[in-house]
Copies of this chain bind each other. A is one copy, B any other.
């Protein structure tokens, strides 16, 4: 494809995107396809000769758009926000247009240094100390794995350079909350710790936050049994209910055993942009690593997750391998992000953060986050004021966990009622919610925070929730 062909197609595509964003509020929020339907709509082999751009563009409407949940819809309240601010979309487009290869500083100095600059910007905006250094990872799952690998190597005094975890005779143990994201246990298993060495620490029955006394007891028990507490993952904003583990107390406990503390603030991290919310993050500045995702609530398009560490030299010692074909005279003076994570090559993802922050401005981002917090509090107040309705977990951020309990309906019947109700809401096409289990029962998560969601949309949602529960 020539630059001029790209120019014509690109203009058409930009118009398609702008038009699509304008019509998203009129689309059903849920995906409209059955398993296999998209596959069946596509040919079994790739075309030998070029297809016209119009045909490909038409397939976005025919196949792609009906085949995804509309996360940019004002009625999207599933999982967590997955905002794709148009400013950040422009940055992502620019990344493709620049066409740089990020393998070393030398291959793309600007890719590296813009990433340093924007991660420093966000560190400062979050009120973190200047000791922290950040890098962009694809997701907080990967960030968690990288943190656990760094912790493993610190606790084992660099076992990777000897026999690895194989034959390691004093087992290293990982601690997290049962409310932690699935990636925490997954990371522990992938890092080789083994399920027998992963502890679920008890949580407070009301707040669902990790109980530091239980953490202390678990660690002491492991030490007594000849094991080494290696790392605690503190979830600041759990996936189920946005429970906030008390990082300050967790760090105190971990410090007694020299254990690494990784803070998973994938969703909640954006709230650090708001000074009035920082009390929820007390102690984070004393942790060893921190992951949070601008690609969720803040709205820098996926994938853009930040991993901050305080001891970069240690991380690099764990992750670095430098063959001759990647050596350069300037190595000593520069950051080599290849040594801060798993992949060697990286996209110019810093551009989407750079564009987003510059084109939207920080104050507008903060205002939007505050709007969502207000909307969540408003909805929680409505739910609590209504008979038979209950908010089942503290509304620390923008997620409201709700059950509707009709008189006399309990146990499995209540679960069936809850799941049927959420299905009815989703089938309406006007909103999209998810269900999750809490204390052995299903509840409904209303995750507020799509960029498009205004108070009027939350009011409509509340009407819809009541309408569908009474069907």
Chain A interface secondary structure, helix, strand, loop or mixed?
helix
| A35 on the B face (CB < 8 A) | yes
Determine how many copies of this chain the complex contains.
Answer: 2
Q: Which of B5, B45, B125 contacts A46 (CB 8 A)?
A: B125
| A207 on the B face (CB < 8 A) | no
Q: Is the CB of B64 within 8 A of A110?
A: yes
In the bound complex, residues from chain B placing their C-beta under 8 Å from that of A324 are 435-437, 442
Chain B: CB-nearest residue to A64: B110
| A414 on the B face (CB < 8 A) | no
Q: How far is the CA of A321 from the CA of B17 in the complex (A)?
A: 34
In the bound complex, residues from chain B placing their C-beta under 8 Å from that of A406 are none
Which one, A193-201, A275-283, A306-314, A381-389, is touching chain B?
A193-201
Q: Is the CB of A35 within 8 A of B97?
A: no
* Complex interface bits, A59-102 against B, C-beta within 8 A gives 1, otherwise 0: 01001111111011000001100101111011011101111111
Q: Is the CB of A141 within 8 A of B344?
A: yes
In the bound complex, residues from chain B placing their C-beta under 8 Å from that of A100 are 68-69, 71
In the bound complex, residues from chain B placing their C-beta under 8 Å from that of A435 are 324-325
13 other contacts beyond A46-B125, A162-B196, A190-B342, with CB at 8 A cut-off?
Answer: A3-B86, A9-B90, A9-B359, A35-B105, A68-B108, A69-B106, A82-B101, A84-B99, A89-B99, A152-B192, A165-B192, A183-B321, A186-B321
Q: Is the CB of A47 within 8 A of B361?
A: yes
Check A18/B7 contact, CB under 8 A, given A48-B361, A79-B101, A195-B164. Answer: yes
| A430 on the B face (CB < 8 A) | no
Q: Is the CB of A96 within 8 A of B98?
A: no
**25 A-B Cβ contacts within 8 A?**
A3-B86, A11-B11, A17-B94, A17-B96, A35-B105, A38-B110, A46-B118, A46-B121, A47-B361, A55-B358, A68-B110, A69-B106, A69-B107, A71-B99, A82-B345, A138-B345, A139-B344, A139-B345, A152-B192, A159-B192, A165-B194, A166-B192, A166-B194, A191-B192, A303-B346
Which one, A168-176, A210-218, A256-264, A459-467, is touching chain B?
A168-176
